[in-house]
Amino acid sequence: MAWEYAPARESAALANVAPSYRPFVDGTFVDGGGEPLKTVNPATEEVLAEVGTASAADVDRAVAAARKAYETTWGPMPGAERAKYLFRIARIVAERSRELAVLETLDNGKPIRESRDVDVPTAAAHLFHHAGWADKLEHAGLGAGAGGQGPKPLGVVGAVIPWNFPLLMAAWKIAPALATGNTVVLKPAETTPLTALVLAEIAAEAGLPPGVLNVLPGAGDIGSALVGHEGLDKVAFTGSTDVGKEIQRRLAGTGRRLTLELGGKAANIVYDDAALDQAVEGVVDGIFFNQGHVCCAGSRLLVQESIAAEFEELLHARIATLRVGDPLDKNTDVGAINSRAQLDRIVDLAAAGDAEGAQRWTSPWPLPEKGLFFPPTVFSGVEQTMRVAREEIFGPVLSVLTFRTPEEAVAKANNTPYGLSAGIWTDKGSKAMWTAQRVRAGVVWTNTFNKFDPTSPFGGYAESGFGREGGRIGLEAYLDA
Ligand code: NAP
Ligand code: MG
């Protein structure tokens, strides 16, 4: 029997999109001195809202407000008191989760199923997790600090985040920084500022003292003015490796602390003894989750040669069933590409795959007539020297390479300037352990992929950056430990 497809569209009205938004400085929304920007819904290319942006003078004001809050209210406050604010913020995020999920989907283009089931609950989980740490820092194994009060915070943190997980990345920065007693100036990405500004509204609703959290929408120039600001004690950056390197050069010798969460080109290694249907699901989730706009995406499939043909057939059959389209439809698996610039980049890199001789397979699923979309794509016959094997595409494009022995799998997995994550699929525990010990990546998943939990540290090797976010060890990045 044939099943008819019926759309199940979430209502855009749930997002309560305001006609305009403004920067949040010292506890209030202010008129920023920058040129207002228009944030668009990438699924329709229609303008969602006008957003006031910060100027360099606003960066000065926000850093000064954060300094004052650090010295007068937040820094001296006992951890148990700080925890109450963080628990309140976490609860309000959970209460407003449906609104936040729809808003994230509108501003970013990701499927509502993902913003609802992953982004927003994981953001709330990070806030809850770190709220629980605020009064236990002296027990974190990072030093007891003077008088057993726990190790000292650093001071004022400048945080800059990308557009792929706007609310979640904001929570990853804000939760540990505030729990450890620091204050924050956050710059969200230019194309996705809305949920960070609602998070600021939530912080105000929770009674967070003025200046503890400041949110400055704007483009890269404001990010640059923020990370170079002399009033900061620490910079926490998530974004591209190029910008990360530039920030590292600028901070060298200043004594200011830095953590960098940068790009990746992760290998998903499938051995011939793996449960193939399960591995197919993991490989598909690894690269098509969030349209492949994931720093830890499993963008290189390394499949053992003896099963490569069979595996690729299974993979194509499964990918062909992914629904590409309206991100607000609860049935949608692959949503819109966040910006025209990102779509152009994906198109260019895919063309390089053709030019260098890889074989392109494209999902037959029809794309919507308007909006920014790219079909799920697989390149096979990929060689290690090709651009599609080396560069981060940051889109729904999988590159398939093969290997014969475990040694060759490890050598190919490690043949990358990055080192953020990896996946291993095998029925043999000993083989999984052997491989995990040799793959140079911050996170290695075995017989699963894309598992995120606030108790588990996340971060990279080499050009994927340094420092860890989440878990006990993630606290260290915000403490003078
Ligand atoms: P990006 O260009 O580096 O932008 C990241 C942020 O930095 C944005 O807010 C951006 O502002 C700002 N920025 C741009 N130029 C700057 C400068 N010179 N100084 C300071 N800030 C500056 O990265 P993207 O292309 O948006 O994001 C995708 C990248 O992020 C990918 O490489 C991905 O792998 C990485 N990422 C890593 C992780 C991780 O945890 N390792 C997580 C998510 C994403 P505007 O965008 O507003 O101009
Ligand atoms: Mg947008």
| Ligand 1 contact via 262 beta carbon (within 6 Å) | yes
Asked whether the predicted pLDDT for residue 148 surpasses 80, the reply is no
**Best probe residue, ligand 1, of 262, 390, 456 (max atoms within 8 Å of C-beta):** 262
pLDDT at 1: 61
- DSSP 8-state assignment for residue 41: E
How many A from CA of 120 to the centre of ligand 2? 17
CATH class of the structural domain 12-261+461-480: alpha beta
Task: Confirm or reject: Cβ of 166 under 6 Å from ligand 1.
Answer: no
CB count within 10 Å of CB 230 equals 8
Catalytic positions are: 261, 295
Going from the Cα of 243 to the center of ligand 1, the distance in angstroms, rounded, reads 7
> Mutation test of ligand 1: which of 165, 169, 240 has the most ligand atoms closer than 8 Å to its C-beta?
240
User: Which pLDDT does position 147 carry in this prediction?
Assistant: 74
Q: Which ligand is nearest to the CA of 293?
A: 1
Q: Which distant-in-sequence residues (6+ apart) come within 8 Å of 299 by Cβ?
A: 264, 265, 266, 287, 292, 392, 393, 397, 398, 399
**Distance of CA 257 from the midpoint of ligand 1 (Å):** 18
The protein residue whose alpha carbon is closest to atom 14 in ligand 1 is 220
Q: What is the mean pLDDT of residues 430-446?
A: 98
391 lines ligand 1 (CB under 6 A): no
124 lines ligand 1 (CB under 6 A): no
Q: Does residue 220 line the site of ligand 1, with CB under 6 A? A: yes
Nearest Cα to Cα of residue 169 among 136, 192, 202, 140: 192
pLDDT of residue 399: 98
> Is 90 exceeded by the pLDDT of residue 393?
yes
CA of 265 to the centre of ligand 2 (A): 25
Q: pLDDT tens across 14-60, in order?
A: 999 999 999 999 999 999 999 999 999 999 999 999 999 999 999 99
Pocket test for ligand 1, best of 229, 247, 249, 295 (most atoms within 8 A of CB): 295
Ligand nearest to the CA of 190: 1
Q: Is 263 in the pocket of ligand 1 (CB under 6 A)?
A: yes
Contacts of 65 (CB under 8 A, 6+ apart): 25, 26, 27, 210, 211, 214
Query: Which ligand minimizes its atom distance to the CA of 420?
Result: 1
| Residue type present at position 196 | A
CA angle 346, 350, 352 (to 5 degrees): 120
- The ranges of the chain annotated as CATH 3.40.309.10 are 267-446
pLDDT tens, 110-144? 999 999 999 999 999 999 999 999 999 999 999 87
319 lines ligand 1 (CB under 6 A): no
pLDDT at 331: 96
Q: Is 106 in the pocket of ligand 1 (CB under 6 A)?
A: no
Indicate which atom in ligand 1 lies nearest the CA of residue 188: 9
Band (150; pLDDT cuts 50, 70, 90): confident
Give the mean pLDDT of the chain.
Answer: 97
Are the beta carbons of 123 and 465 closer than 8 angstroms?
no
Cα distances (angstroms) measured from residue 325 to each of 3, 336, 445: 18, 7, 29
Instruction: Specify the DSSP class assigned to residue 35.
Output: P
Q: What is the pLDDT of residues 250-260, one digit of tens each?
A: 999 999 999 99
Span 189-203, mean pLDDT? 98
pLDDT band at 76 (very low <50, low <70, confident <90, very high): very high
Ligand 2 centroid from CA 357, angstroms: 35
Residue span(s) of the chain under CATH 3.40.605.10 come to 12-261+461-480
Sign of CA dihedral 352, 375, 220, 266: negative
Hey, is 135 helix, strand or coil? coil
Query: In Å, how far from its chain's centre is CA 143?
Result: 30
Per-residue confidence (pLDDT) for residue 3, from 0 to 100: 73
Render the burial of 119-140: b for 16+ CB within 10 Å, e for the rest.
bbbbbbbbbbbbbebbbebbeb
Considering only residues 242 and 147, tell me which one the structure prediction assigns the higher pLDDT: 242
pTM for the full model? 0.97
Closest ligand 1 atom to the C-alpha of 469? 40
Total Cβ atoms within 10 A of residue 60:
15
**How far is the CA of 203 from the CAs of 93, 168, 171, in angstroms?**
10, 15, 12
Residue 41 Cα, ligand 2 centroid: separation in angstroms?
A: 5
- State what percent of residues in the chain have pLDDT above 70: 100
Return the best residue to mutate from 35, 110, 160 for the ligand 1 pocket (most ligand atoms within 8 A of CB).
Answer: 160
Q: Which CATH superfamily is domain 267-446 in?
A: Aldehyde Dehydrogenase; Chain A, domain 2 (3.40.309.10)
- Tell me the CA–centroid distance for residue 413 and ligand 1, in Å: 24
